[in-house]
Amino acid sequence: MNYYSLNKKAPNTSFKDAVIKGLAPDKGLYFPEEINALPKSFFENIDNLSYTEIAFETIKQFVTPDIPEDVLKTIIEETLSFDFPVIELNQNISTLELFHGPTMAFKDVGARFMARCLGYFNQNNDQEVTVLVATSGDTGGAVANGFLGVEGVNVVILYPSGKVSDIQEKQLTTLKKNITALEVDGVFDDCQDMVKRAFLDEELTTHMQLTSANSINVARWLPQLFYFVFAYKQLHNKHKEIVFSVPSGNFGNICAGMMAQQLGLPIKHFIASNNDNNVVTEYLQSEQYNPKPSVQTISNAMDVGNPSNFIRIQEIYHNNFEALKENLSSYSFSDKQTKEALKEIYNDYSYVADPHGAVGYLGCKAYLKEHPETHCVFLETAHPTKFLDIVEDTIRENIDLPEQILKVMDKKKKSIKISSYNELKEVLLK
């Protein structure tokens, strides 16, 4: 499959080139030239397919021939070595748990998939690749873990100082080896802007091969479409009208869900559930897209004021506002509402959610008021222990720490503080 730049001022390119570049030379995000729906029989036969078979069939068209089919099968088997269970809370609401990977956030799948694709492309290449990542909390840890020790790849992670949880910070600052963590005096959007600026900086790009492991990179973004198909496999025999409530920040996950729908997955509707960073909620009300500086919330990984992937969503709907509104609703919720939701989920269903999942739950409840005939799945995008203080204080219970979290708790943080783009450049050129 070839890819084009959404800024339409750069040549179309192969999957391999799109992965290695991350962002097109005109600063546009790459988008597949075609999306070919799978036959209806694929979804009718889904009970007989394993997760790895589903993943292979749904992503094959986007990555072959650059990744040969046999290599793709191995990459998928290695990537999906954990579970994706759906837990039903009641007749109308389920949660899809996406936190069973090594860093306990949904980013693990995309990060592991991309690391293996880049490792494959890089095997006969003498030049080292530098992977730049901006994180509001979870991408950094997942990418650090996924790329640790990958030959010929250096990873540089930018995160907003003081605005990620303690455990998220440990996950991205303690691995060392080929991973460097930069603590930025600013918000997530400052980190993301610095990364995008670096791609356009010829002084850097003539010295080094830069790519991104944020969802702007197609190899990080597209595997996220698997989740929606995995949930459908678990629910379709019981519920006919399935809607997904996706806690959204950079909008890569929900946009990947829309790609699954384009492949023919019968999804009735999407809900973008936001915290106070509500650019898209406001857009759907006013048709005005006004990015603004992000504000800090307890669902910190969603503190994004200018979501990268919204442009991909507009492309899927051919920039047709009415068509988008038919398929997407959006609500935003305050921290106070999020804490109330954490308590309600715990008291009513004995289920411990994390603040991001709680925002997704609130999105389900808001949508179900108008559409009680549907079944709403909210994505549990991270394990609650990643936000230990907030969750324990809110539900007034101690929660057990899983092994993945215990492993990093006592490690020593190592980061470099920076406050400007020039300081980033200095680190990269060293």
Ligand X SMILES: Cc1ncc(COP(=O)(O)O)c(C=O)c1O
Other CB atoms within 10 Å distance of the CB of residue 387: 25
If contact means CB under 5 to 8 A according to the sort of partner, which of ligand X, ligand LJ64HWYM, none does residue 93 touch? none
Do residues 39 and 60 touch, judged by C-beta distance below 8 A? no
Output the CA angle 111-192-62, nearest 5 degrees. Answer: 40
If contact means CB under 5 to 8 A according to the sort of partner, which of ligand X, ligand LJ64HWYM, none does residue 135 touch? ligand LJ64HWYM
Residue for token digits 């080094």?
208
Based on the shown chain and the rule CB under 6 A, indicate whether residue 356 belongs to the binding site for ligand X: yes
As beta bridge partners, residue 133 has: 157
Rg over CA atoms, the chain: 20
Between helix 355-370 and helix 335-349 the angle, nearest 10°, is: 80
Instruction: Output 32 or 110, the one with its CB closest to ligand LJ64HWYM.
Output: 110
Based on the shown chain and the rule CB under 6 A, indicate whether residue 357 belongs to the binding site for ligand LJ64HWYM: no
Binding mask 236-255 for ligand LJ64HWYM (x = CB under 6 A): -------------xx-x---
If contact means CB under 5 to 8 A according to the sort of partner, which of ligand X, ligand LJ64HWYM, none does residue 308 touch? ligand LJ64HWYM
Shortest CA distance to 128 belongs to which of 117, 136, 137, 119?
119
Count of residues that bind ligand X according to CB under 6 A:
16
Q: How far is CA 116 from the centre of its chain?
A: 17
Based on the shown chain and the rule CB under 6 A, indicate whether residue 214 belongs to the binding site for ligand LJ64HWYM: yes
Instruction: Output 270 or 367, the one with its CB closest to ligand X.
Output: 270
Based on the shown chain and the rule CB under 6 A, indicate whether residue 308 belongs to the binding site for ligand LJ64HWYM: yes
Based on the shown chain and the rule CB under 6 A, indicate whether residue 382 belongs to the binding site for ligand X: yes
Residue 107: active-site member? yes
Binding mask 296-325 for ligand X (x = CB under 6 A): -----xx-----------------------
As beta bridge partners, residue 87 has: 95
Query: Which residue among 107, 233, 339, 386 is the active-site one?
Result: 107
As beta bridge partners, residue 313 has: none
Instruction: Output 374 or 381, the one with its CB closest to ligand X.
Output: 381
Other CB atoms within 10 Å distance of the CB of residue 39: 10
Tokens describing residue 244: 């997904």
Three-state DSSP class for residue 343: helix
Region binding ligand X by CB under 6 A among candidate stretches 2-10, 59-67, 187-195, 245-253? 245-253
Question: Cβ 308 to ligand LJ64HWYM, closest distance in Å?
Answer: 6
**Alpha-carbon span 267 to 273, nearest angstrom:** 17
Question: Cβ 255 to ligand X, closest distance in Å?
Answer: 8
Based on the shown chain and the rule CB under 6 A, indicate whether residue 105 belongs to the binding site for ligand X: yes
Region binding ligand X by CB under 6 A among candidate stretches 108-116, 247-255, 364-372, 420-428? 247-255
Question: For ligand LJ64HWYM, which residue of 79, 136, 261, 338 counts as binding (CB under 6 A)?
Answer: 136
| Exposed / middle / buried, residue 308 (Cβ in 10 Å: 0-12, 13-18, 19+) | buried
Region binding ligand X by CB under 6 A among candidate stretches 2-10, 126-134, 249-257, 319-327? 249-257
Q: How far is CA 426 from the centre of its chain?
A: 29
Shortest CA distance to 385 belongs to which of 215, 161, 171?
171
Shortest CA distance to 110 belongs to which of 138, 85, 89, 70?
138
The footprint of ligand LJ64HWYM (CB under 6 A) covers 135-140, 214-215, 249-250, 252, 301, 308
Instruction: Cite the active site residues.
Output: 107
